[in-house]
Structure 1
Amino acid sequence: MYICSITNTVTDTPVLSLKSNRIFDKSTLTNYIDKFGKDPINNELMNIDDIIEISIPEINQNNQNEITNVSSVPSLLKSFQSIWDNLSIELFQLRKELDITKKELSLSLYRQDAAVNVAVNACKERDDAIHALEQFMKDSGNSQNDVVNNAVKETEKETEIEIDNDNEVDNVDEDWLPISEKLNEEQIKLVEEHKTTNKSLRGKSPIYSLVQENENNDESHNLSTSTDFIGTLKVGEKGLLTTIKQNQKGDSAVLVYSENYFQLISLSNTSLEPLSEIHTSAKGKSKKTVFWMNETPYVLNFPAQRKNAKADSNNVQLINIQSKEKTGFRLNSENLKDITSVIGHPSINLFIVAFKDHLEFVYDLKSVFIQQLSSNINSIHLHPDGMLLGISYIDGKEIDIYDLSERQFKLKIDWGVENLIDFEFAINGYLMIIVVEGKAMVFDLRKNTVTLESNVDTSRFNGIFIDEGVSLIVCSSHYVILDPKGKSIVSSGAINTSSQVLSLHTDFENGKIQTIMATDGDSGDVVLTNFI
């Protein structure tokens, strides 16, 4: 007789979890895995392949068959059993969440008590010091009055500063609390969405069939780009194409030109006809200030300021590239010329403006918070779950992982003496690609370590591009192909093209990987082509 670890009832179809070595009812555990993708006991990631069926002795099976045959309403009992299993799973999950909530509440109460104790002790010490100074004043005479009064003021000031510092550590901000709650809600939704997408796309990248075809023909794995271009977009007076900003889904992109032209295009079509086009006056800032927020493309514009403008007036514009709508608002940072980049949240109206040495957070076009940093920023990238922010520095050899909800640094990734160029989170949320001089590294966020390395040419670095299936990584003129689980490198090498790759998009429906490139030469035309 076997008891299910979730329902605590006897099961006719027992199975063993290889993750926790516990016994479950097969249908109950299968339903749990489909919903959460984890082991119910230790929360380790698992799938159907991680369970083993347990054989029941013949004598037990015969007895159970007799019991089943005796029942006069087997179908009704089966229905009740299914409902019971679902209720048991829900109750089990609620108990786990309740336990986590109790622990978090206990920790919060402990921190609150500690903060109160610190404040009480500080006030007591201040009162004792004031009393001692007053007594000293009486003993020393009235000639000491001025000195003593100044000392009392300095003592009160120092005590207040200490208490304020404790509040800063606790990171309490009533204006930020609703934003923090929204970030946590969206993180849950985005994680579930990415899990479903990763499961459906894993191992289905068309790059694997290309590699297999090359192996069968005993040919090199080196990729090339088709000379039969799918489409060409004439640049004209827009200037050179400087960068491409794709949305997180990978089906749309904004082309950014040196003369502050912006073109929105769809990557799901087979041409490069622009869906929308705008031109701004922010000379020299276009590459830094275009971003996607809540699946909508924007550019941060800096209109000319009037000499007699009030200090509280708007100093920047947010332009929707798709609708061309302009909205003014104010950034609190003083020198807008120090902006290095802007990134937006994938599902709410929150974006982050990176300056040289600090970050400014804007929610619903209202500046809500400024985070000072100890070093000058090199680049920032947002994790696909919309919660973690990666920050690299110009004079450093490390990446800080910053929690937006708690507004605290959670992790420091350091690899020693090599010079960091840039990094990028993969869409699956598990991997991060780090590029240092002459090398691309795959960093596993779950294991907190570099798992794979590959030599690449970084002399013409213009970004890290990862396809939606997390199977192909392109850096400058080099590529790296990962296995479906991201645990090994299938192939790597140079791309046979003289043009500059600026984006990747996987067309899973038609089995193609498309790239947008800026051609060499005077024309600098933009082309859409396939890897072959």
Structure 2
Amino acid sequence: MLCAISGEAPQEPVASRKSGHVFEKRLIETYISENGKDPVNGEELTVEDLVDLKSARTVRPRPPTLTSIPSLLSVFQNEWDALTLETYTLHQQLAQTRQELSTSLYQHDAAVRVIARLTRERDEAREALSRITINAGGNVANGDTMQVDSQGLPANIIAKIDATQERLSSTRRKRAVPDGWVTGENIQSFGPIGKSESLYPGSRSIAVHPAGDLALVGGSDGVAGVYSISQNKLVQTLKSGKGAVTDALWWGDKAIVSTAGGSVQVFSEGSQIASFESHAGEATALALHPSGEILASVGADKSYVLYDLENLKVVLQIYSDSELLTAGFHPDGHLFAAGGTDGQIKIFDVKTGTNAASFDNASPLRDLTFSENGTWLAAVSRGQNSVAIWDLRKAAQTKVLEIGSTVEGIAWDYTGQFLAVSGPSGVSVQQYSKSSKQWSEPLKSAVSAAAVAWGPQAQSLVVVDSTGVISTLGSS
């Protein structure tokens, strides 16, 4: 009989009840105390599971001192036994480690292939969504159903975009500040010069007519109105009937509003002349193209829609990967920016609908606006006390303007020198000096405002607060 561990004839043979193998008693007891298992089959094993085997054995002589050869041999035997036991254990651990490593490598390889496939499918889906077009489901005044062009924008719309970009971009750098435009000194003297009663509680936006006297606002009751600043009264009421008014703007003398019900409505002289229902959820913001003939809306359904205002029809609807909250066209008209709930400012090529760039503003966007200099984009996130200035040329954030209180609305003036900022705690104006390349704050007013717009030649500011009160700030 040979020991299953040492391979030698045991002095005190015992047998395992679990595997039936024979072991040297001292070796197996040591193994059990360290591992608690049968070294052959790995089953749980205790000392009680060992059976002593009767065999003739030689009585060992009394142990001599270590100075004798038999004593040294005994020590060497003990060391050999320990080494044999350790080697056996290491062999077992090596085999187990190899098996675990092989399994892990296989699982890693499978995971990498799955991730690669999912990434490819995600990219393909995004590409498909960026080009997809659907039935708009909206109706104009005559009740015709509008179809979105599956081939992209019509040729006449692309021609308008190209012509507008060529006309505006060629003169932008040479454009001088118009005569009679406001200066930083004028803005320092701004104060409240007019105030209305509460018109439309829940107001979120305000648009001033180019002539300067009419302000377009709307509230949470689904009604918008045209307010005369000079007469200090409402002159028109526009009933949308599609939920709260979320945004409003002027198209010439016509008013356009978006609603929480997903509709975009066009009014002329107080009467609705078109209504679009392209969005499957809330239509959150509007933007007018510099050509004055193309409108964009964004919505909670993660899409933006382009409209041909000349023919009052939808021409394209494109989906993104997050709900869109605010929007604006580049002053040259070739880029369109939309801010999402994911904190991303998505820059789209207007003609192709492709995503040209994305800026991370950290949290859901509240408002954004392009500067007339064509290179800067100002953006503010919900609940933030600062305004981020992005440089389109560098695709990087170049300045953070600390306002000191919550910001809800922003608006550049025509020259790109002044940025108006509104919030519950008041209105301020940030001024950029090209000569010193420094920012200053010529105005800080305590007039509460949810939205702000510049008056004619920037000689005034028109604001509306959350209760629907319209206030005018200017020089007395």
TM-score (structure 2 length as normaliser):
0.57
Cα offset, 1:284, TM superposition: 3.2
Distance in 1 separating the partners of 2:240 and 2:152 = 37
Q: Which residue of 2 aligns with 1:446?
A: 393
SS of equivalent to 2:183: helix
SS of equivalent to 2:434: coil
Q: Which residue of 1 aligns with 2:237?
A: 278
Cα offset, 1:280, TM superposition: 0.8
Cα offset, 1:389, TM superposition: 0.6
Q: Which residue of 2 aligns with 1:298?
A: 256
For 1:413, which of 353, 359, 378 is the aligned residue?
Answer: 359
Tell whether 2:144 aligns with 1:179. no
**Contact kept in structure 1, 2:184 and 2:431, CA below 8 Å:** no
Are residues 411 and 428 of structure 1, via their aligned partners in 2, closer, same or farther at CA, if it must alter by over 3 Å? same
Q: Deviations over 1:273-308 (max 9, x none)?
A: 55x4123142533124x23335642235799xxxxx
SS of equivalent to 1:191: helix
Are residues 262 and 330 of structure 1, via their aligned partners in 2, closer, same or farther at CA, if it must alter by over 3 Å? closer
Q: Which residue of 2 aligns with 1:339?
A: 283
Cα offset, 1:454, TM superposition: 2.0
Distance in 2 separating the partners of 1:283 and 1:439 = 33
**Contact kept in structure 1, 2:366 and 2:409, CA below 8 Å:** no
Are residues 499 and 366 of structure 1, via their aligned partners in 2, closer, same or farther at CA, if it must alter by over 3 Å? closer
Aligned AA for 1:407?
G
Describe how 1:355-504 pairs up with structure 2 within 5 A: 355-356=299-300, 357-363=302-308, 364-396=311-343, 398-414=344-360, 417=362, 420-436=365-381, 437-459=384-406, 461-475=407-421, 476=423, 477=426, 479-485=428-434, 488-492=437-441, 495-500=444-449, 502-504=451-453
Compute the RMSD of aligned alpha carbons: 4.1
Distance in 2 separating the partners of 1:265 and 1:191 = 34
Aligned AA for 1:207?
T
**Contact kept in structure 2, 1:342 and 1:351, CA below 8 Å:** yes
Distance in 2 separating the partners of 1:468 and 1:455 = 23
Cα offset, 1:487, TM superposition: 6.7
Cα offset, 1:172, TM superposition: 8.5
Are residues 347 and 273 of structure 1, via their aligned partners in 2, closer, same or farther at CA, if it must alter by over 3 Å? farther
Are residues 393 and 431 of structure 1, via their aligned partners in 2, closer, same or farther at CA, if it must alter by over 3 Å? same
Describe how 1:244-283 pairs up with structure 2 within 5 A: 244-246=206-208, 253-265=215-227, 270=230, 272-274=232-234, 276-283=235-242
**Contact kept in structure 2, 1:281 and 1:302, CA below 8 Å:** no
Q: Which residue of 2 aligns with 1:208?
A: 184
SS of equivalent to 1:384: coil
Percent identity for Structure 1 against Structure 2: 17
Aligned AA for 1:345?
H
For structure 2, the 5+ residue unaligned runs are: 1-123, 133-148
Distance in 1 separating the partners of 2:443 and 2:177 = 29
Are residues 352 and 465 of structure 1, via their aligned partners in 2, closer, same or farther at CA, if it must alter by over 3 Å? closer
Q: Deviations over 1:179-210 (max 9, x none)?
A: 212221222234356556x41339x7533335
Are residues 185 and 208 of structure 1, via their aligned partners in 2, closer, same or farther at CA, if it must alter by over 3 Å? same
Describe how 1:38-187 pairs up with structure 2 within 5 A: 173=151, 176-187=154-165
SS of equivalent to 1:326: strand
Higher fraction of helix: 1
Aligned AA for 1:413?
F
Aligned AA for 2:191?
S
**Contact kept in structure 2, 1:434 and 1:441, CA below 8 Å:** yes
SS of equivalent to 1:503: strand
Aligned AA for 1:199?
A
Are residues 277 and 447 of structure 1, via their aligned partners in 2, closer, same or farther at CA, if it must alter by over 3 Å? same
Cα offset, 1:507, TM superposition: 4.7
Cα offset, 1:394, TM superposition: 0.6
Distance in 1 separating the partners of 2:203 and 2:364 = 27
Distance in 2 separating the partners of 1:354 and 1:225 = 34
Distance in 2 separating the partners of 1:449 and 1:316 = 35
| Structure of larger gyration radius | 2
SS of equivalent to 2:321: coil
Aligned AA for 1:179?
I
Are residues 350 and 484 of structure 1, via their aligned partners in 2, closer, same or farther at CA, if it must alter by over 3 Å? same
TM-score (structure 1 length as normaliser):
0.52
Cα offset, 1:470, TM superposition: 2.4
Q: Deviations over 1:9-47 (max 9, x none)?
A: xxxxxxxxxxxxxxxxxxxxxxxxxxxxxxxxxxxxxxx
Distance in 2 separating the partners of 1:329 and 1:395 = 29
**Contact kept in structure 2, 1:293 and 1:348, CA below 8 Å:** yes
Q: Which residue of 2 aligns with 1:96?
A: none
Are residues 185 and 468 of structure 1, via their aligned partners in 2, closer, same or farther at CA, if it must alter by over 3 Å? closer
Distance in 1 separating the partners of 2:401 and 2:319 = 35
Are residues 326 and 487 of structure 1, via their aligned partners in 2, closer, same or farther at CA, if it must alter by over 3 Å? farther
Cα offset, 1:370, TM superposition: 1.9
Higher fraction of strand: 2
Distance in 1 separating the partners of 2:359 and 2:290 = 24
Are residues 418 and 331 of structure 1, via their aligned partners in 2, closer, same or farther at CA, if it must alter by over 3 Å? closer
For 1:234, which of 193, 197, 208 is the aligned residue?
Answer: 197
**Contact kept in structure 1, 2:243 and 2:260, CA below 8 Å:** no
Cα offset, 1:245, TM superposition: 2.0
Are residues 439 and 294 of structure 1, via their aligned partners in 2, closer, same or farther at CA, if it must alter by over 3 Å? same
Aligned pairs, number: 327
Q: Deviations over 1:454-484 (max 9, x none)?
A: 211343x321122333232232235353334
Aligned AA for 1:208?
G
Tell whether 2:166 aligns with 1:188. yes
**Contact kept in structure 1, 2:227 and 2:236, CA below 8 Å:** no
Q: Which residue of 2 aligns with 1:118?
A: none
**Contact kept in structure 2, 1:469 and 1:506, CA below 8 Å:** no
Cα offset, 1:239, TM superposition: 4.0
Aligned AA for 2:184?
Y
Are residues 390 and 226 of structure 1, via their aligned partners in 2, closer, same or farther at CA, if it must alter by over 3 Å? same
The structure whose RCO (Cα within 8 Å, separation 6+) is larger is 2
